[in-house]
């Protein structure tokens, strides 16, 4: 991915809302104004940034979160990377299972996977890449990504 938007953020939850607003504005300026854009980006990127700040960087204000985005008129690719040691996303409990419904954890990643067309983690587990396609270019979603 060759990003056309790169932001370095402090591990401060107050940085999330202006960052998400900026990303939505840039997407609309690029002509990507799919019906799902505002909701999917607001929820998906907010969750990814919050997870990076709270869990990846363990709320350490000296650590940064990097957001890279490639924005075109037909798609949006967002990568969020923290400075933490990472995690194994396959070990996150499925929050839809009855045994996990009262457990904390896993809901944010579940939401991201439901809202985005593609979601990938790097091998280390400290970086998530999310892809959202415009309605006319949407690819068939794979079950249980």
Residues 85-97 pLDDT 10s:
999 888 877 777 7
pLDDT at 114 over 80: yes
In a domain, 11, yes or no: yes
Please tell me the total count of domains within the chain: 1
In a domain, 143, yes or no: no
Kindly tell me the sign of the dihedral angle through the C-alpha atoms of 17, 18, 19, 25.
Answer: positive
In a domain, 98, yes or no: yes
In a domain, 39, yes or no: yes
In a domain, 145, yes or no: no
Q: What is the pLDDT of residues 19-77, one digit of tens each?
A: 999 999 999 999 887 677 889 999 999 999 999 999 999 999 999 999 999 999 999 99
- We report the CATH number of the domain holding residue 71 as 3.30.565.10
In a domain, 80, yes or no: yes
Identify the bridge partners of residue 6 per DSSP, sorted by sequence position.
Answer: 68
pTM of the model: 0.88
Backbone φ and ψ for 22, nearest 5 degrees, come out as -60, -45
In a domain, 68, yes or no: yes
In a domain, 59, yes or no: yes
Percent above pLDDT 90 for the chain: 66
* pLDDT of 136: 63
Q: How far apart are CA 17 and CA 90, in angstroms?
A: 28
Structural domain containing residue 28: 5-137
Backbone φ and ψ for 67, nearest 5 degrees, come out as -115, 125
Number of H helices, E strands in the chain: 3, 5
The CA-atom distances, in angstroms, between 81 and each of 55, 98, 104 are 12, 31, 23
């Amino acid at each position: 991915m060759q990003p056309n938007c790169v932001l370095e953020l402090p591990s401060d939850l107050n940085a999330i809302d202006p960052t998400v607003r900026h990303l939505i504005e840039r997407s609309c300026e690029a002509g990507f104004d799919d019906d799902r854009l505002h909701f999917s980006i607001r929820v998906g990127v907010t969750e990814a940034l919050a997870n990076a700040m709270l869990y990846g960087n363990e709320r350490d204000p000296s650590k940064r979160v990097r957001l890279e985005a490639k924005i075109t008129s037909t798609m949006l690719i967002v990568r969020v990377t923290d400075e933490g040691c990472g995690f194994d996303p396959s070990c996150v409990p499925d929050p839809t299972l009855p045994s996990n419904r009262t457990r904390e954890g896993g809901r944010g990643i579940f939401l991201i996977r439901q809202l985005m067309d593609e979601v990938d983690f790097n091998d280390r587990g400290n970086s998530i890449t999310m892809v959202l396609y415009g309605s006319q270019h949407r690819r068939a979603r794979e079950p249980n990504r």
